[in-house]
Structure 1
Amino acid sequence: MKITDVKIFVCSPGRNFVTVKIYTDQGLTGIGDATLNGREKAVVAYLEDHLVPLLIGRDAARIEDTWQYLYRGAYWRRGPVTMAAIAGIDMALWDIKAKAAGMPLYELLGGASRDRLMCYGHAQGGDIAEAVESVGALIDEGYRAVRVQSGIPGLPPVYGADGTSTNGAAENALPREELWSTSKYLRHAPKLFEAVREAHGWDVELLHDVHHRLTPIEAARLGKDLEPYRLFWLEDAVAAEHQEGFRLIRNHTTTPIAVGEVFNTIWDARLLIEEQLIDYIRMTSVHAGGITPMRRIADFAGLHNVRTGAHGAMDMSPICLASNIHLGFWVPNFGIQEYSGYSEETLEVFPGTWSMADGHLYPGHGPGHGVEFDEDLAERYPFERSYLPVNRLEDGTLWHW
């Protein structure tokens, strides 16, 4: 089964998404997600100018060889642009292979290890009272796990507290600048989780995202302060480059640690996994190079008592979410799946067989990964330039967002 054509689509039904569609001489097609938020056009150029010409005439069934050809065959490896581009191709090829086999993707990976996937939703508020109310609303919807963020007294709205993550999509839009104070945050976070536990008890799993803003010793202090509230995990406590710093965090707190949404290859996480410095690896299909490497990463993590917790923000298309769901259905060491939801427009452009009910995700049982792409509808939503915010300390120093 030969690849005859590859097309790249960019649309913005609420968010910008990059979609790869591969055509074969047997009439089967497959689609993959190649979205890199805020740098979408860089991935498009990498695909159209460098990778697509290499694919025409290749055997669509040789997924492993194609992945190695695109990754190992390039002298300049890794990086978010390269790995997102390879991911879009890899997902599309797995979609084709599962369709050719007439089975859902998780069956092709080795079959289901469970019946459903626990997912977590996002609760947020401008202050603690609003955040506590938001947690209650998600519990009422059936969620068993909730990520909780709130505004910080003395600061304008910060990440995760105001429900926005971009600066809009106007042609002249520039990144929104946010303000940060570590000392104010460290005093505030324990009060947030004390209030949530007091209001909602202990039957709900609670998660929290620091978004890479602390030093290792600050993260260790926060983890220790949060121990009484039994978090499911503390996410992205320090900058992802600080792998050795996780040793200090691990030595000072028993709060479970999660990291990895900005990682691109296993080399970004090798030390963290080998030394069991984390409890959950948050790498996701689109940013880690696709389904092929995610299988290896999950197996490697499983050998070291690390479970999966794939990134699932709304700036990755439903194709990526579906791929993560199928991987989660198969992988023995599944932990949890993030689910932040999609706009109605996004779900119309990317209709799929996956579903969410009572705080759990289900992949559906049709062939492939189960997501389609409405090309005609996508044309109504052209690309709109936008950025993620940037962050500054109160004295003006640029900081991690």
Structure 2
Amino acid sequence: MIIDKAEVIVTSPDRNFVTLKLTTDDGLSGLGDATLNGRELAVVAYLREHVVPLLIGRDASSIEDTWQFLYRSAYWRRGPVTMAAIAAVDVALWDIKAKAAGMPLYQLLGGASRTGLLAYGHASGKTNDEIFDSIRSHQEQGYKAIRVQSAVPGLNSIYGIASNATFEANKGVRYDHEPAQRGALPNEEDWDTRAYLRHIPTVFEAVRIEFGAELPLLHDAHHRLTPIQAARLGKSLEPYDLFWIEDLTPAENQEALRLVRQHTTSPLAIGEIFNTVWDYQLIIREQLIDYERSAVTHTGGITHLKKVLEFAAQYQIKSGMHGPTDISPVGMAAAMHLGLAIHNFGIQEYMMHGAKTDSVFEQSFTWNDGMLYAGDKPGIGVELDLDEAGRYPYVQAYLPYNRLADGTVHDW
């Protein structure tokens, strides 16, 4: 199987997506997700100008060799652009190999370790009543585990609140539950850590009173806290038995998590902005996290992320793969097949895409009663409708950013 065609497809149905399609000389094709939210065209250029010329004529079955070649031959290694590009190639090659074998991809990864994948959704609100309504709505959709995000009194707009979500410029149409704003400049949001730390424990107290002790609850601090602030939040949320607290503090400073661990037994999830195993070395080896959050799309594909998760398994750390709507259905399907195969699966983030996205990406995976099912179609089970994709050209979009009350730019 020789690669004789490589196409980089950019489409923006409900939001921007970058997809790599590889085709072999015997007519098999595979898809890979290369979407990097807010910086999509950087990966497009990397693929089109630097990677695609290297793929034509290569053996599509040599997945490990191709991965190592793309990673090592660039010399300038790692980083989100490089690793998203490599991930797209890697997943497309796995898709082709599984189609050639006539099997769903998870079978080539060792077969299923479970029947389905527990997934969590995103509930949020400006008030407790709004949050309660959002939780009930997610339960009606089948979710059995729910992330809870709350507005903070005195702050106008912060991450994760659907009713505060950015709208398409001049259209008033919600951007697929996506915080990225279509427009020439990023949206500015505000932040006050002390107000947040005072308010969030009261939210989870109210949610537990309303919904009881059994519902698995998650929360995302989105990298905004210092280590000691993170420790305080983790300790204050212990009475509410969270499934995890995500991204308490910027984890590039991995040693900071030692301090957090000293002060709280709340489970910690980290890694959605990590790209390689090198980002995880210390925090996995010292067991400073409980869930590994990387996405297949941003971490070098199935080949590399499987190795990271096998490393984590030695330390009883489980997967919690990133899965909002900036992961395309191609990336979501790849995560499902990997999640089915590994032993140390924990939970899968899952936000449902919009109708336009579903018309561009034809999916065979299914959602039922809180669980995701990858399906048994050969490959990853997703096909791209090129004609439909062509109806939605790229639209410039940026993620928001934060400023404190004094004007200082803060972590978003």
Query: How high is the TM-score relative to the length of structure 2?
Result: 0.96
User: In the alignment, which residue of structure 2 is the partner of 1:123?
Assistant: 123
SS at match of 1:372: strand
Residue 345 (structure 2) aligns with: 334
Moved more, 156-165 or 359-368: 156-165
Q: Do the aligned residues in 1 keep the contact of 2:183 with 2:398 (CA within 8 Å)?
A: no
Is 1:178 matched with 2:189?
A: yes
State how far apart, in whole Å, the 2-side matches of 1:165 and 1:332 are: 36
Deviation digits for residues 98-143 of structure 1 (CA, Å, limit 9, x no counterpart): 0000000000100000001000000010122211221122123321
User: Is the Cα–Cα contact under 8 Å of residues 70 and 86 in structure 2 kept in the other structure?
Assistant: yes
Tell me, in whole angstroms, the C-alpha distance in 2 between the residues paired with 1:353 and 1:252.
Answer: 44
Amino acid at match of 2:92: A
1:357 and 2:368 equivalent?
yes
- The correspondence for 2:291, drawn from 280, 284, 301, is 280
* Structure 1 counterpart of 2:315: 304
1:14-65 deviations in whole A, cap 9, x for unaligned?
1100000001011101011000011111101100111111111100000000
Q: Which of 300, 303, 327 is residue 289 of structure 1 equivalent to?
A: 300
Give yes or no for the alignment of 1:248 onto 2:259: yes
Q: Is there any run of 5+ residues in structure 2 with no aligned partner, and where?
A: 171-181
Matched-pair contact (CA < 8 Å) for 1:47–1:85: yes
Amino acid paired to 1:363: A
Aligned match of 2:114 = 114
Q: How many residues align?
A: 401
- 1:7 corresponds to 2:18: no
Change (3 A) 1:24 1:271: same
| 1:367 alignment partner, one of 378, 383, 407 | 378
Letter in 1 for 2:28: L
- How far apart are residue 74 of structure 1 and its match? 1.5
Task: Give the Å deviation of 1:159.
Answer: 0.6
Shift of 1:166: 5.2
Mean CA deviation greater in 124-133 or 202-211: 124-133
**SS of match in other structure, 2:48:** helix
Q: State how 1:15-164 maps to structure 2 within 5 Å.
A: 15-163=15-163
The answer to whether residue 411 in structure 2 is matched with residue 379 in structure 1 is no
User: Contact 1:213–1:400 at 8 Å: present in 2 too?
Assistant: yes
RMSD after superposition: 1.2
Q: In 1, are the aligned partners of 2:366 and 2:372 still within 8 Å (CA)?
A: yes
Which residue of 274, 293, 300 maps to 1:263? 274
**Equivalent residues of 1:38, 1:386 under 8 A apart:** yes
The answer to whether the Cα contact below 8 Å between 1:309 and 1:334 also exists between their aligned partners in 2 is yes
Counterpart-to-counterpart distance in 1, 2:166 and 2:316: 35
Superposition deviation, residue 386 in structure 1: 0.5
In structure 2, distance between residues paired with 1:63 and 1:97:
9
Structure 1 runs, 4 residues or longer, greater than 4 Å off = 163-167, 169-172
1:46/1:82 contact within 8 Å kept: yes
Please give the per-residue CA displacement for 1:303-345, whole angstroms capped at 9, x wherever unaligned: 1110000000101100000000001111100000000110000
What are the equivalent positions in structure 2 for 1:197-216 lying under 5 Å apart? 197-216=208-227
Query: Is 1:218 aligned to residue 229 of structure 2?
Result: yes
Q: C-alpha distance in 1, partners of 2:348/2:121? A: 9
Aligned counterpart, 2:411: 400
The SS at the match of 2:162 is coil
Q: Is the 8 A contact 1:165 1:388 kept in 2?
A: no
Q: Which runs of 5+ in 1 are unaligned?
A: none
Matches within 5 A, 1:179-198: 179-198=190-209
Tell me the secondary structure at the aligned position of residue 23 of structure 1: strand
| Matched AA of 1:38 | G
What amino acid sits opposite 1:75 in the alignment? Answer: Y
Q: Any conservation in 1 of the 2:43–2:82 contact (CA below 8 Å)?
A: yes
CA distance in 1, matches of 2:326, 2:124: 18
Matched, 1:236 2:247: yes
In the alignment, which residue of structure 1 is the partner of 2:176?
A: none
* Counterpart position of 2:178: none
Q: Distance in 2 between matches of 1:136 and 1:42?
A: 39
Supply the distance in 2 between the matched residues of 1:150 and 1:301 (Cα, whole angstroms). Answer: 31
Mapped to 2, the partners of 1:352 and 1:122 lie a distance apart of 22
